[in-house]
């Protein structure tokens, strides 16, 4: 059966590149984003070049009704076997100086929609004993020192959600991957209002997605394309796991007792 993938944030950047790469792998697609015109242009090109079936599903994932519409599609369309949870945004400036409404929209898009769409897919995939969820997180979710507090917190959520889902759903036949890009050349910087002179060196989006798909093929739980030494992540995980037995202690550590 031809695989079908639903991709959020599919009008540009990482999402549009996933659409290109997966279409060339023979996947039928459901593209989700606010900009229907850009998705139609992308879909027309990919239909012509690859012959796959592509549907456009316009949605603003900061709106509850639109999230519910996409979640219903994930629950009801038994042909969708992969979710690429990519839609996201960033904010410029320090947390204390950001507008509270902007922070709320960031959380709605980067965490609430991500969690609800993953939930809709997970419920059906678990029943079917198959399927895959790809959550696009960020290395910023591991690095509070970068000073992108609100954005980083949403990406830390995406990492934890992915790890928790992998633990729960892996035994049921569902694969969950978190992709942690470092700085990548997409429109997210311009939309966040970043100045060109402030931008760090960036990975090209095609390289990022190709690496993410290599991690997908290898069934990695965490894929960090910029990390040259995979052993560093293994050491990070080992240090975290070494603390777990301590969490069962029923008395505070000696340093907290007079």
Q: Could you list the active site residues?
A: 151
Are 110 and 155 a contacting pair, CB within 8 Å? yes
Two tokens, residue 96: 């204390």
Beta bridge partners of 55: 30
User: CA nearest 233: which of 184, 178, 189, 186?
Assistant: 178
Count Cβ neighbours within 10 Å for each residue of 127-140 and write b for 16 or more, e otherwise.
eeeebbbbbbbbbb
How buried is 167 (Cβ within 10 angstroms: 0-12 exposed, 13-18 middle, 19+ buried)? exposed
Beta bridge partners of 222: 178
User: CA nearest 134: which of 206, 209, 36, 187?
Assistant: 209
Two tokens, residue 22: 């997966």
């Amino acid at each position: 059966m031809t695989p079908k993938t639903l991709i959020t944030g599919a009008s540009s950047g990482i999402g549009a590149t996933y659409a290109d790469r997966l279409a060339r792998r023979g996947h039928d697609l459901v593209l989700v984003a606010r900009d229907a015109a850009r998705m139609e242009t992308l879909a027309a090109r990919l239909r012509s070049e690859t012959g796959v079936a592509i549907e456009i599903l316009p949605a603003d994932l900061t709106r509850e009704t639109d999230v519910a519409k996409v979640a219903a599609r994930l629950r009801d369309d038994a042909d969708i076997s992969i979710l690429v949870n990519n839609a996201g945004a960033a904010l410029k400036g320090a947390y204390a100086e950001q507008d509270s409404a902007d922070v709320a929209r960031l959380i709605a898009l980067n965490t609430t929609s991500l969690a609800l769409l993953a939930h809709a897919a997970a419920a059906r995939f678990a029943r079917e004993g198959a399927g895959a969820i790809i959550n696009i997180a960020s290395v910023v979710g591991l690095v509070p020192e970068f000073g992108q507090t609100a954005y980083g917190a949403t990406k830390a959520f995406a990492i934890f959600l992915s790890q928790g889902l992998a633990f729960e759903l892996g035994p049921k036949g569902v694969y969950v991957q978190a992709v942690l890009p470092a700085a990548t050349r997409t429109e997210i910087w311009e939309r966040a209002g970043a100045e060109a002179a402030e931008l760090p060196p960036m990975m090209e989006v095609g390289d990022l997605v190709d690496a993410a798909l290599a991690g997908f093929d290898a069934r990695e739980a965490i894929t960090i394309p910029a990390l040259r030494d995979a052993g560093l992540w293994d050491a990070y995980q080992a240090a975290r796991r070494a603390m777990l037995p301590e969490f069962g202690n029923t008395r505070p550590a000696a340093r907290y007792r007079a």
